[in-house]
Structure 1
Amino acid sequence: MTAPIPMDGPLIPMPELTVAAIRHAVARITPSRVHVFDEHLAEAATNAQQAQSLAPLRAFIHVWAVNVAIARHPARAARFRALEALVDAGNEDPTDALAEIQQILQAATAEAGL
């Protein structure tokens, strides 16, 4: 049985920076994205093998840890999606939206310990 999801604050604690822990977090808070996670992991593993470098796997962990750090806060995730939609629409000057997106990414990166 899983613990109830809190209505305020983060949905889950920030996971460890391992593939298994981040995948578990993705499955818990954004289950529709697990297949994207798995596909990206397979691509990163292939690239790491071809390059004989762990850099693709490190980049993979970074991207998904930041995604989890954003998604575990529903209000922040909603704001991030709204800002992305505003920029994608191209109907107004994106400067302020891009600055706020950058702030969210910086906060999530710090929160993930990266």
Structure 2
Amino acid sequence: MTAQYAEAEGPLIPQPAMTREALRDAVRRLDLPSLAVFDKECHEAFDRAAETGAINPLRFFLIKWATHVAIHRWPARAAALHEAERVAGDPDADEKAFEASMETSSLILAEAQREIGL
């Protein structure tokens, strides 16, 4: 963890396996409002894989949602990312704040991706 959002406690749940069911259960437990998006994107990825005969849509889906879970299982990490996204999208944010928000986002995503083995 970086100093900007150091955690006082451990993660809310262990990082789940990178399977549809394990990730769905984790999203349900950590970020229930995102569950409908998870389900929609899961169906879309399955349909694209069936249409193309390629597994890449399924792999991209699993990586995206494993990263989402890796971020949201640490509440301070998720809050820091949401704040960085808010600042990055604020047209009134100055350049220094924008750059800091982009750096924070990059660090958080890199940490999450290391946790899922990328």
With normalisation by structure 1, the TM-score equals: 0.90
Residues matched between the structures, number? 108
One-letter code aligned to 1:16: A
1:72-98 Cα offsets, whole Å, 9 max, x none, are 000000000000000011222222211
The alpha-carbon deviation at position 29 of structure 1 amounts to 0.8
Alignment of 1:58 with 2:59, yes or no, is yes
For residues 44 and 89 of structure 1, the distance between their equivalents in structure 2, rounded to whole angstroms, comes to 31
Structure 2: gaps spanning 5 or more residues = 1-7
The alpha-carbon deviation at position 33 of structure 1 amounts to 1.1
The alpha-carbon deviation at position 32 of structure 1 amounts to 1.4
> Could you say what secondary structure the match of 2:89 adopts?
helix
For residues 21 and 81 of structure 2, the distance between their equivalents in structure 1, rounded to whole angstroms, comes to 25
Partner in structure 2 of residue 109 of structure 1 = 113
Partner in structure 2 of residue 11 of structure 1 = 12
The alpha-carbon deviation at position 31 of structure 1 amounts to 1.2
One-letter code aligned to 2:46: A
1:15-34 pair list within 5 angstroms: 15-34=16-35
With normalisation by structure 2, the TM-score equals: 0.87
> Could you say what secondary structure the match of 2:108 adopts?
helix
One-letter code aligned to 1:11: L
For residues 26 and 8 of structure 1, the distance between their equivalents in structure 2, rounded to whole angstroms, comes to 20
Structure number with higher relative contact order (C-alpha < 8 Å, ≥ 6 residues apart) = 2
Partner in structure 2 of residue 71 of structure 1 = 72
Partner in structure 2 of residue 86 of structure 1 = 87
The percentage of counterpart residues that share the same residue type is: 37
1:50-92 Cα offsets, whole Å, 9 max, x none, are 1110000000000000000000000000000000000011222
One-letter code aligned to 1:24: D
One-letter code aligned to 1:101: S
Partner in structure 1 of residue 3 of structure 2 = none
The alpha-carbon deviation at position 99 of structure 1 amounts to 1.4
For residues 46 and 91 of structure 2, the distance between their equivalents in structure 1, rounded to whole angstroms, comes to 35
